Amino acid sequence: MSSIAEKVIQVADSLKYIREATNHNDHPMIDRMLEYLGLPHHLSWCLAFCLWCWHVAVAPAALPFPKIARCSSFWEYVQARELRYRTFTPEDVRWGIEKPQPGDIGIFSHNPQKRNWDGHAVLVVRQINRKSFRTIEGNTVPGAEGNQREGGGVYYRTRYNDIRGLHLEGFVRPR
């Protein structure tokens, strides 16, 4: 694992204490992550969590990702800039062409047929096999029950290419 990827996961692990106070995206650290992206409090924060972990890990260098908090917009942006970002699909992983690495950001979509779809972002900790991977993620729940993309804290999860109501679009890492 590269030293930057190790730092990204260490930062994420240091935030595993976060639990929303009233399940309305409310915690001082969540507020700080959203403010870093220039956003108001109480918004969905899964991608803000991922970007915050990268921001802290690479400081004082600039964040290698765009400050975009909507999963659909982020995914569209990174896919259009293949010289700066390496993106790959779950099919690439299933066929053994690519392998998710620690620190990669995974993007899931909900209703991908519509523009500006809702989604969920995760940080890869390690690949388990070609169909599953270990993650640490914000704005989720600890188990299979409950809202997988609007949860109440930071948790380690085992994810698969598809989770209830969400489809894995793919993974991204900076080049």
pLDDT single digits (tens) 104-147: 999 999 876 767 788 999 999 999 999 999 999 999 988 776 55
**β-bridge pairing 153-160 and 132-140:** antiparallel
pLDDT-based confidence at residue 152 (cuts at 50, 70, 90): confident
pLDDT given at position 164: 66
What pLDDT digit, counting tens, does each position of 84-111 carry? Answer: 999 999 999 999 999 999 999 999 998 7
Provide the token pair at 158.
């085992």
pLDDT at 142: 86
* Per-residue confidence (pLDDT) for residue 75, from 0 to 100: 96
Q: Which domains does the chain have, with CATH numbers?
A: 3-174 (3.90.1720)
Locus of tokens 């969590």: 49
Q: In this model, does residue 171 exceed pLDDT 90?
A: yes
Overall pTM surpassing 0.85 (yes/no): yes
Task: Name every residue whose Cβ is closer than 8 Å to that of residue 101 and which is 6 or more positions away in sequence.
Answer: 1, 5, 124, 127, 173
| Residue 124: strand pairing partners | 135
Count the neighbouring beta carbons within 10 Å of the beta carbon of residue 74.
22
Residue pair 63/110 in contact by the 8 Å Cβ criterion: no
pLDDT in tens, 1-57: 579 999 999 999 999 999 999 989 999 999 999 999 999 999 999 999 999 999 999
- Spatial neighbors of 152 by CB under 8 A, at least 6 apart, are 19, 20, 23, 139, 141
